[in-house]
Structure 1
Amino acid sequence: MTLAAAILAAGQGTRMRSSLPKVLHPLANKPMVQHVIDAAKKIGAKDIHLVYGHGAEMLQQQLQSQPVNWVQQAEQLGTGHAVMQVLPSLADASQLLVLYGDVPLIQPETLQQLLAATPENGLALLTVQLNNPTGYGRIIRNPQGAVLGIVEQKDASAEQLAICEGNSGIMCIDAEFAKSALPQLSNSNAQQEYYLTDLVAMAVAENRPVHAVIASNAAEVSGANDRVQLAALERVYQSWQAEKLMRNGASLADPARIDIRGEVTTGQDCKIDINVIFEGKVTLGDRVEIAANCILKDCSIADDTIIKANSMIEDSQIAQACEIGPFARLRPGTQMDAKAKIGNFVETKKTRVGQGSKINHLSYVGDAELAEGVNIGAGTITCNYDGVNKFKTQIAANAFIGSNTSLVAPVSVAENATVAAGSVITKKVEAGQLAIARGKQKNLDNWQRPVKK
């Protein structure tokens, strides 16, 4: 039996006070609905139906690369009505998993439990035990514990409101039952909507099996209706990620002050200080140390590398035992070989820094190739851009570039060459040469400094 997923994402989300559709608001730098799509993929959903309404153009633009079947709900007449729109696309021999685009923390493991509990010709629902279930539909059970139905809060009696088991809204339905039951839903209720939850009572009335799985963590089934709730879910998500890092052998100075907005893999004995942000895919080797206030995006850091405070690394590859920062910025295409060093207030872009080479301070090195043992003095820049095109600077092994040098690309400095401080280099420096390219110094006597008028 195949699995199909229906993700309900048609709501406007007025409480977000935003022109952005609610389900596109980000959690960990990824739209809420994308988290739900990813969960459906992980459990093997063959067909993913996205039920949309408000903000259709923005949704389709943001999710254009996703393997979803777009299903329009022109009028928002309730959850049951939303799922009805999926029926024409639903295969007969399948299970239909109903998910919500604004419930981003649902875990694949929990969904697997729900699928395993889904009976043939019936349904299974995901419930949650809450100390304060205000806003949730209540699960009605008989004395033997069997589920009889779900009553929405606005339709519940005082006795029913005292029930602490709430309905998450997530359920898995046998396709045959869904196709027969959904068209029979009624909107005779306080909201005048077609409730998906009425399927439970209908299944019981037809003697179809109804099973319930209780979620182990309420955060998994919590929705975000406003920015306050979304911020709370963000903190939950980040706490989960921090715990995962620590269990994999990383030490965090403060687990509450780290943000993971992608996928992070760590080796053993990594040390991560406060306010570090990871974006995209980041890989850390063993014994990597990251000081406070660093941002790492789509990069790999090999063993024993130290990243000092306030540094940014993006789309770069760092070999073992390198040293970076503080206040360094490694832009895309930077590659550091073993034991290389990029120091404070240095910016690199599309540059290879060879083994043991150093760019210690106050420099910009872009579109460059540095062999091993190169020393770049403070204030050096590669002039790689003529206003239209980019050109490359090549510096061979053991070259020494003096402070405040401008290397006007395309240009090369051969092995063991030296460039005097303050030079503007426009042509090749041969092996072992000393290049001096600066005006002759003049010292004028009796110079009168300007004074204020």
Structure 2
Amino acid sequence: MTQTTPVATIVLAAGKGTRMKSDLHKVLHPIAGRPMLMHLLASAQTLAPARQVVVAGHGRDQLEKALGASATIAVQDPQHGTAHAVQQAEAALAGFDGDVLILYGDVPFVRAATMQAMLDRLHEADNPTAVVLGFAPADTLQYGRVIADGDRIVKMVEHKDATADERACTVCNSGLMAVRSADLFGLLARVGNDNAAGEYYLPDVVNIAIADGRTCAVVVTDDADEVAGINSRAELAQAEARWQHRRRQTAMADGATLIAPETVWFAWDTQLGRDVTVEPNVVFGPGVTVADNVTIHAFSHLEGATLASGVQIGPYARLRPGAVLEEKAKVGNFVEIKNSTLHKGAKANHLTYLGDADVGAGANIGAGTITCNYDGYFKHKTIIGERAFIGSNSALIAPVKIGADAIVAAGSAVSRDVGDGELRMVRAEQLMKPGWADRFHDAMKKKKG
């Protein structure tokens, strides 16, 4: 079905997250380099919501900083349950007439297609008042149950309040719900707290609607992991592992070769082309784009980097934000690149640091070369011309420009520009003292003896 009714989202994120034992708000803990809340909001954004409300309590200032103007913050203080939390969004949704999706900030991987399925069910012929997202886990644990006849809900019940027969039901309540705004807040106002926990439960809006003679429905996801909540560091690690496994499968399906997939770690926005080879123990931080026919050797770390076709890096290479490698550039063992461009065919094969540099096409950077780009106060740029040759163990003291086809002799510390085709050699005079080392060793042996 095509969604034509306006949509609003309410994301519950008011819990203290005490099991995380962290000063960082639970929903801001990252998975694949992105806060879990942002994973969820990105999925919801595909529905083009007219309004987004995040219900906060503990750590409100952190959420405001992370969200900026992308969502309205509603505050739940004190916390009296999920129904009470959703009620706090009423003012933020004043005047809104449409469908409301209720989501959870610590359930980050709900697919947009699943959200759409809930909204579609809300508009089917039987006109349900609410649609609940159910799931059927291998172990029902302490989850609330959705007692249904087909997909029409008979009763919602929390585990602690359920009978033995009700606990035998395998369809569990994820907590996610779709409700029309015209119905939602009226139902919430009727929710009581006569239960084992003395809290106002969101599922009770379904029971109230059913008691009124109205229909409510359940949509059951075929992937229980989709609605897995994250409440502890261990569950965070499990969520990361699930995300990484799926991303590796996608990368290989799209034409990349991962030699040892379980050792490669992606960020949420990593982009890989076709016929890319990734060797073991490679880590992608955020902001990496890799074109076709690139080889990334083992134990390399990339973040904020752009690699063109035919590039080779590593092993043990580190590409930091702003690293741009053009076609067939090569970065080798223990080379670090930061905020620098290596143009077509440029090479830095060994033990080199290039920061704030522009390296011309076909240039060769010798082992042990560094660009001295920071003077303690400001960053400065090094420009290396096409086909220039920088000898081993050279220090290029920025700001400095090395001309095209120039040669910098090994061991030079260059602080002034080098013209096109010039040789620059900056070395101290070599002194020779015959016999000095023999006399030194003799003297030291006598002292030690």
TM-score, normalisation: structure 2:
0.89
Pairing 1:114–2:118 present: yes
- The structural deviation recorded for 1:11 is 1.1
- The structural deviation recorded for 1:52 is 1.1
Regions of 4+ moved over 6 Å: none
- The structural deviation recorded for 1:330 is 2.9
**Match for residue 12 of structure 1 among 13, 16, 36:** 16
CA shift digits 1:245-291 (9 cap, x unpaired): 222222333443332221233332333333332232xxxxxxxxxxx
Quick one: structure 1 residues 425 and 93, their matched pair in 2 at CA, closer, same or farther if it must change by over 3 Å?
Answer: closer
Q: Secondary structure at the match of 2:262?
A: coil
Pairing 1:364–2:353 present: yes
- CA distance in 2 between counterparts of 1:315 and 1:15 reads 32
**Match for residue 69 of structure 1 among 49, 69, 72:** 72
Name the structure 2 match of 1:78. 81
Name the structure 1 match of 2:258. 252
- CA distance in 2 between counterparts of 1:312 and 1:186 reads 54
- CA distance in 2 between counterparts of 1:239 and 1:224 reads 17
Name the structure 2 match of 1:41. 45
Mapped contact 2:284–2:303 kept (Cα < 8 A) = no
Pairing 1:180–2:186 present: yes
Name the structure 2 match of 1:449. 440
Quick one: structure 1 residues 71 and 306, their matched pair in 2 at CA, closer, same or farther if it must change by over 3 Å?
Answer: same
Q: Secondary structure at the match of 2:285?
A: strand
Unmatched 5+ residue regions in structure 2?
Answer: none
Name the structure 2 match of 1:270. 276
Letter in 2 for 1:29: G
- The structural deviation recorded for 1:111 is 0.8
**Match for residue 299 of structure 2 among 296, 310, 325:** 310
CA shift digits 1:119-151 (9 cap, x unpaired): 446111111123421211112235x76311111
- CA distance in 1 between counterparts of 2:18 and 2:372 reads 51
Quick one: structure 1 residues 19 and 151, their matched pair in 2 at CA, closer, same or farther if it must change by over 3 Å?
Answer: same
Letter in 2 for 1:107: R
CA shift digits 1:404-441 (9 cap, x unpaired): 23333333333333333223333343444333332332
Q: Secondary structure at the match of 1:89?
A: coil
Pairing 1:240–2:229 present: no
TM-score, normalisation: structure 1:
0.88
- CA distance in 2 between counterparts of 1:145 and 1:411 reads 71
- The more displaced of 221-230 and 346-355 is 346-355
Q: Which has the higher strand share?
A: 1
Name the structure 1 match of 2:384. 395
Pairing 1:51–2:40 present: no
How big is the alpha-carbon RMSD for the aligned residues of Structure 1 and Structure 2? 2.3
Name the structure 2 match of 1:134. 141
- CA distance in 2 between counterparts of 1:375 and 1:387 reads 28
**Match for residue 414 of structure 2 among 425, 430, 444:** 425
* 1:151-170 alignment runs, 5 A limit: 151-170=157-176
Quick one: structure 1 residues 43 and 376, their matched pair in 2 at CA, closer, same or farther if it must change by over 3 Å?
Answer: same
CA shift digits 1:190-226 (9 cap, x unpaired): 1111111112222122222212111111111121222
Sequence identity, in percent? Answer: 40
Pairing 1:200–2:211 present: no
Q: Secondary structure at the match of 1:169?
A: strand
Name the structure 2 match of 1:334. 323
Quick one: structure 1 residues 343 and 268, their matched pair in 2 at CA, closer, same or farther if it must change by over 3 Å?
Answer: closer
Mapped contact 1:262–1:278 kept (Cα < 8 A) = no
Name the structure 1 match of 2:367. 378
Q: How many residues align?
A: 434
